[in-house]
Amino acid sequence: MTIQQAKQRFGIIGVSPALDRAIETALRVAPTDLSVLITGESGAGKERMPQIIHHNSTRKHNGYIAVNCGAIPEGTIDSELFGHEKGSFTGAHETRKGYFEVADGGTIFLDEVAELPVSTQVRLLRVLETGEFLKVGSSKVQKTDVRIVTATNVNIPEAIQKGKFREDLYYRLNTVPIHLPPLRERKEDIHLLFRKFASDFGEKYRMPPVRLQNDAVRMLEAYRWPGNIRQLKNVTEQISVIESDRDIDVGTLSRYLPDAQANQLPMVLRKEEDSNMSEREILYKVLFDLKNDMNDLKKLVMDMLRDGNNSVDPETVKRLFPAISEGASQSHAEEVTAGGYDFEIQRVDQGYGDEDPIYDHEVVEESLSIEEKEKELIQKALEKHRGRRKNAAQELGISERTLYRKIKEYGLN
């Protein structure tokens, strides 16, 4: 099968050299049994590559199963992939075959493979190395002959550094890498795809297909398309249904492209610190910042009470109460307006002569241990519901699986 034939059979639109290179690699690796890892942004069309590989391999007459690993709950992913025995867990009323058993002799496509739990990654590694697996609740080793193709939009080397993905599994999956470029790197394909989608939707809704004026084509190609082909298809469908005028100009198109004008400006890339932080890390950061602000506020109040406002740091006041105008004098620090609320701090003379006032004392900071608070809340929830973990998990607003893990982690009964 040639590259052009593959495009026609699997509905792939585009003339980009990077796209042709990805299809060529898929066709070359198809006759082998090598594992393939497909990378690319969400919506770039990664699901087409495993289909090309399977239908051009010796396994094409056997089963092909596509599994979205990110859509399966962590508690059932092992059962879905490897099957389970009757009675192995609550709800297991009968023995069930997993995907690796059903697809024996065929191909399994694991989409979003980076979402697999670490325990499941260990099982998957065993299948790749020995072709063996165990059903959940069984001690009998079973064999399978399955070709594994995986895909992800996650930077796996970064996930490995954070301990979220096994390095040995990555190298087994990445025997042959295939990268699908994002739509913004395939500018010559954007208008082709738009015309194809416009024709399809015109036929679907029984109306003439929409067309773009030259300036609208330039805007279409200049847009960054963060959602890639999926976003382009959605925009084309919206225009096809909503607009009565089938000749689309740049003004009309811009209404369907979020921040279209901003995307024509030079792009500034900035690494977001919180993009890959866990919930606990974010909570730690928020509490740490709050603790610092409270300490600064305590110091500010004590200085104002002790020294009659003469030693108040104006920069600290501005940071804690941003509503103070930049030109406000330090003598106004007693009356602070922040977010519509007035704060007035008065020095109280207790009449102790030269002795320090009664309020001049050491400030003892409260412990902000998240683990202790979390442990205490879990213990209270369990006691309240008399050990019924399902009810306790609902009370705490967490999943039952997370509650089991926390109970084990903190050694709670």
pLDDT tens-digit profile of 283-293? 766 777 777 77
Q: What is the pLDDT of residues 356-407, one digit of tens each?
A: 444 444 444 555 567 777 788 888 888 888 888 888 888 888 888 788 888 8
Collapsed DSSP state (helix, strand, coil) of residue 151: strand
Average pLDDT of the residues in 301-318 = 60
**Phi, psi (degrees; rounded to nearest 5) at 227:** -90, 0
pLDDT of residue 343: 42
Q: What is the pLDDT of residues 146-193, one digit of tens each?
A: 999 999 999 999 999 999 999 999 999 999 999 999 999 999 999 999
Collapsed DSSP state (helix, strand, coil) of residue 3: helix
Distance CA 223, CA 191 (A): 12
Burial 35-71 (b: 16+ CB within 10 A, else e): bbbbbbbebbbbebbbbbbbbbbebeebebbbbebee
State the helix-helix crossing angle for 3-10 and 48-55, rounded to 10 degrees.
Answer: 120
Other beta carbons within 10 Å of 215: 12
Q: What is the pLDDT of residues 349-358, one digit of tens each?
A: 444 444 444 4
Q: What is the pLDDT of residues 18-36, one digit of tens each?
A: 999 999 999 999 999 899 9
Distance CA 333, CA 318 (A): 10
92 and 104 Cβ atoms separated by less than 8 Å: no
Other beta carbons within 10 Å of 101: 17
Bridge partners, 251 (sequence order):
none
pLDDT of residue 185: 92
342 and 336 Cβ atoms separated by less than 8 Å: yes
Average pLDDT of the residues in 285-314 = 68
User: Which domains are seen in the chain, by residue range?
Assistant: 3-181 (3.40.50.300), 184-264 (1.10.8.60), 279-344 (no CATH), 370-410 (1.10.10)
Other beta carbons within 10 Å of 81: 24
103 and 65 Cβ atoms separated by less than 8 Å: yes
227 and 238 Cβ atoms separated by less than 8 Å: no
Average pLDDT of the residues in 114-119 = 91
The owner of tokens 């593959």 is 6
342 and 335 Cβ atoms separated by less than 8 Å: yes
pLDDT of residue 316: 59
Exposed/middle/buried for 100, CB within 10 Å: 0-12, 13-18, 19+? buried
Close Cβ partners of 53 (under 8 Å, ≥ 6 residues apart): 26, 29, 30, 36, 107, 147, 149
Q: What is the pLDDT of residues 202-239, one digit of tens each?
A: 999 999 999 999 999 999 999 999 999 999 999 999 99
* Residue 112 pLDDT grade (very low, low, confident, very high; cuts 50, 70, 90): very high
Mean pLDDT (the chain) is 80
pLDDT of residue 211: 94
Report angle CA 186, 192, 194 to the nearest 5 degrees. Answer: 100
Between residues 71 and 397, which one has the greater pLDDT?
Answer: 71
Distance CA 46, CA 181 (A): 10
**Phi, psi (degrees; rounded to nearest 5) at 275:** -65, -35
Q: Parallel, antiparallel, or unpaired: how do β-strands 341-344 and 335-338 relate?
A: antiparallel
385 and 391 Cβ atoms separated by less than 8 Å: yes
